[in-house]
Amino acid sequence: MSHVSTLDFSAFCSKDPGRQQSFCQQFTAALQQHGFVKLINHAVPAEGIAKIFEFSKQFFEMDQAAKAVAAHPTTAIPHRGYSFVGQEKTSILAPGEGKPSVDCKESFDMGSPYSRIFPNTWPADCDMPHFRPEIESFYQTCQDFHHTLLRALALGLQLDAHTFDSLVDGNDHELRLLHYPAVPKKELMNGQKTRIAPHTDFGVLTLLFQDDVGGLQVMDQQTGLYSVVDGSHPIMLVNVGDSLQRWTNNHLRAVLHQVTAPSQSPSGTDSPIFTKERFSVAFFGKPNRACSLHPLPQLLLDGECSQYPDITAGEYQDSRIHGTY
């Protein structure tokens, strides 16, 4: 049973100050308690989400040679382009969570369309002529909504609404398309493989959209047990990343989550042998690479000491991703 709250984002868009304030308080409280929250009636259009899932399916249905045109660069910093099944080793991100496992997933990542330091790589236009503009447009939509959510969060923390603006305006975010191919159930159940191993995200807030196949599990901060978090798009899942945990000095925590065999598959689509393929789309809201992840002074309680050293977001993320490829 999921322990993640569902909130109606339309309350934040209301002209009623009371409803706006109530949403900000509930949003912040839900993230403090569970690290995750579900949003309905948010500002990312349902038709845009559906279109991105269609483009994602088309991309991953191409043969390996066509996908390899957009191959992930030899360096792992940061995520860009296509990563084949097993290329990324997520299990090293949560040491102590179990034996190393193979991630049965493939992905396509993009960052800012304007970055000259970390340029994006794309499939050939002749294979997917509309892929790039659609993905770039969805990236921009998610980026705008991420900034809006941070303003709601700031108000929920009793800070100025624009507290986080200058920390995330460098456009260092990432958008990831994910495909989990069909895999023998026994390999997931006996631990030989996983769809994605337990991990936390590196950034500020993650916006996640998923299909109805299931398998996402989130650890309860109180019990240490995992529970299923369902909800297919257009429902949006939002979760805390490591950078926000550092800025808030652990008052908001990034929680471990994983994708494994679903407890049940949609009616009429299950197989006794294979777990059905799964698709999801994640927008990782990231801090500016040059900004500090030292706790924000206004979020330190009287007499409270910082739990973290002063390190830039770029340095931290590079250290976390090192070794995953």
Instruction: Express each pLDDT in 93-110 by its tens digit.
Output: 665 555 556 788 999 999
- Say which CATH number the domain at 148 has: 2.60.120.330
Whether pLDDT at 244 is above 80: yes
Whether pLDDT at 266 is above 60: no
**Is residue 223 situated within a structural domain?**
yes
3-class secondary structure, 302 = coil
Domain with 149, as residue range(s), is 6-321
pLDDT at residue number 86: 80
**Is residue 199 situated within a structural domain?**
yes
Instruction: Tell me whether residue 225 is exposed, middle or buried, using C-beta atoms within 10 angstroms of its C-beta: 0 to 12, 13 to 18, 19 or more.
Output: exposed
- Contacts of 171 by beta carbon, 8 Å cutoff, 6+ apart: 112, 114, 115, 143
Whether pLDDT at 131 is above 70: yes
Strongest mean pLDDT among 229-233, 243-247, 318-322: 243-247
Rounded CA-CA distance 239/208 in Å is 8
Residue 142 CA: distances (Å) to CA of 5, 116, 282: 21, 21, 9
**Structural domain tally of the chain?**
1
Instruction: Express each pLDDT in 271-325 by its tens digit.
Output: 678 789 999 999 999 999 999 999 999 999 888 999 999 999 999 998 888 767 6
pLDDT at residue number 269: 54
pLDDT at residue number 294: 96
Distance of CA 317 to the CA centre of its chain: 14
Rounded CA-CA distance 48/207 in Å is 14
How many Cα atoms occupy the beta-carbon half-sphere of 137 within 13 Å? 12
**Is residue 1 situated within a structural domain?**
no
**Is residue 143 situated within a structural domain?**
yes
End-to-end CA distance of the chain: 34
Backbone angles phi, psi at 39, to 5 degrees: -120, 135
- Top pLDDT among 284 and 269 is at 284
Rounded CA-CA distance 80/129 in Å is 19
Instruction: Express each pLDDT in 175-229 by its tens digit.
Output: 999 999 998 888 887 777 888 989 999 999 999 999 999 999 999 988 999 999 9
- Contacts of 196 by beta carbon, 8 Å cutoff, 6+ apart: 90, 103, 105, 180, 258, 259
**Is residue 105 situated within a structural domain?**
yes
List, in sequence order, every beta strand (DSSP E) within the chain.
6-8, 36-40, 81-83, 102-103, 106-110, 174-180, 183-184, 193-194, 196-199, 205-210, 216-219, 226-228, 236-240, 257-259, 274-275, 278-284
**Is residue 238 situated within a structural domain?**
yes
The mean of the pLDDT values for the chain is 91
pLDDT at residue number 27: 98
pLDDT-based confidence at 91, cuts 50/70/90?
low
DSSP string spanning 1-32? -----EEEGGGTTSS-HHHHHHHHHHHHHHHH
pLDDT at residue number 187: 82
3-class secondary structure, 212 = coil
Q: What's this model's pTM, rounded to 2 decimal places?
A: 0.94
Instruction: Express each pLDDT in 39-90 by its tens digit.
Output: 999 999 999 999 999 999 999 999 999 999 999 887 657 889 999 998 877 7
Whether pLDDT at 5 is above 90: yes
**Is residue 286 situated within a structural domain?**
yes
